[in-house]
Amino acid sequence: MRGLTLALLVCCGCNTLDAASQDIGVDAGPVIASGFEPNTALLDRSGSLVLSGTDLQSGFDWAQDLEAATGAQRVTIQFQGGTDQQRRAWLTDDPVQRGNRTICFELREPNVGGQKGRVQANLYDTFGFSRFSQRIRLYLGDGFSELRDANVTFDWLTLFELWNNPNWTDDPWPFRISVNLIRQDPDRHELVLGAHGQTYTDGRWENVWEVIATDQPIAVETWTALELEFVEGNASTGRFVVRRIEPAAATLLDVTNWTHHPDDANPDGLTHLNPFKLYTSAELINGLHDLGTSLSVCWDDWQFEAVPR
């Protein structure tokens, strides 16, 4: 962690966001702040991992402070099957800055029925947020250089996902917002972000909206700091924004549209989200495996602030 400020300690009334965040109303609420420093740990719990301990720099406690701030009892790292040889999540040194700790995800082989690969952080069963903002840094490993330069296109490599509501519960109005790293044109050696809002009907996801940051490539093998913001609302009041903080500050995605299912007359806030994840097809994972490399992402300096509904 490069240095979370003292203002980012967990609280229920503090305001830690900048003016850009306040413009869409995400200006108060509980905070998660962790750089995954000692004494943060990953504990094995029946095939998943659980973030545990107290971050020594921010003071954030992964049990007591998390539940008080969000209503969730834990942040788990989910794999959906597989072995450590296929996928993993671990706390390790920064690939660039020695002495700094990060959490890293890696996919070496498809771990979900041979069809796809998944490593994701789950923040589930929260109070239900009408608004939230998060900042996080990510480092795309050398496998992403291969994806950037190969003669290939893809639009499914998910880094963040919001469920309002999940399709695996009995809720009648499933809706999700997914943020993917994509490659549109094999002649352009660039990876960019795209996002879509989707409803779920008869076993299929269908777009309500989709946006792509066509001319804003994401750097590989260097740290990028991103901010995500969400406001629950309809076609004119819903908002979803992704900004790059560094390097080269820019608004990458800015959506005013539905952020819950259009048929849900009584939305009850965002209760399930994957604040950071690595999820993609067997085709991409196997292609990199054949080249002797893998997909790996490191994450650091996670800051999360939300307004309960």
Residues 6+ apart with CB under 8 A from 250: 216, 243, 244
Of 60, 13, 124, give the one whose Cα is nearest residue 301.
Answer: 60
User: pLDDT at position 46, please?
Assistant: 84
143 occurs within a structural domain: yes
11 occurs within a structural domain: no
Tell how far CA 208 is from the center of its chain: 20
13 occurs within a structural domain: no
194 occurs within a structural domain: yes
User: pLDDT at position 31, please?
Assistant: 81
The token pair that represents 140 in the structure block: 């795309």
Q: Which residue has the tokens 């509904």?
A: 309
- DSSP code for 6: G
- DSSP code for 66: H
What is the Cα–Cα distance from 160 to 135, expressed in whole angstroms? 12
Amino acid at residue number 26: V
Tally of structural domains, the chain: 1
Of 58, 81, 75, 84, give the one whose Cα is nearest residue 4.
Answer: 58
> In this predicted model, what pLDDT tens digit does every residue of 89-123 receive, in sequence order?
999 999 999 999 999 999 999 999 999 999 999 99
User: pLDDT at position 17, please?
Assistant: 35
9 occurs within a structural domain: no
Residue 142's φ and ψ, nearest 5 degrees, are -70, -20
**Ranges of the chain with pLDDT below 70:** 1-30
7 occurs within a structural domain: no
6 occurs within a structural domain: no
Q: What is the CATH number of the domain that holds 158?
A: 2.60.120.200
63 occurs within a structural domain: yes
DSSP 168-195: SSS-S--EEEEEEEEB--TTS---EEEE
Residues 6+ apart with CB under 8 A from 27: 15, 17, 21
Domain around 130: 23-308
Distances (CA, A) of 172 to 166, 167, 180: 9, 8, 25
The reply to whether the predicted model has a pTM over 0.85 is: yes
Q: Which residue has the tokens 């413009």?
A: 23
Q: What length does the chain have?
A: 309
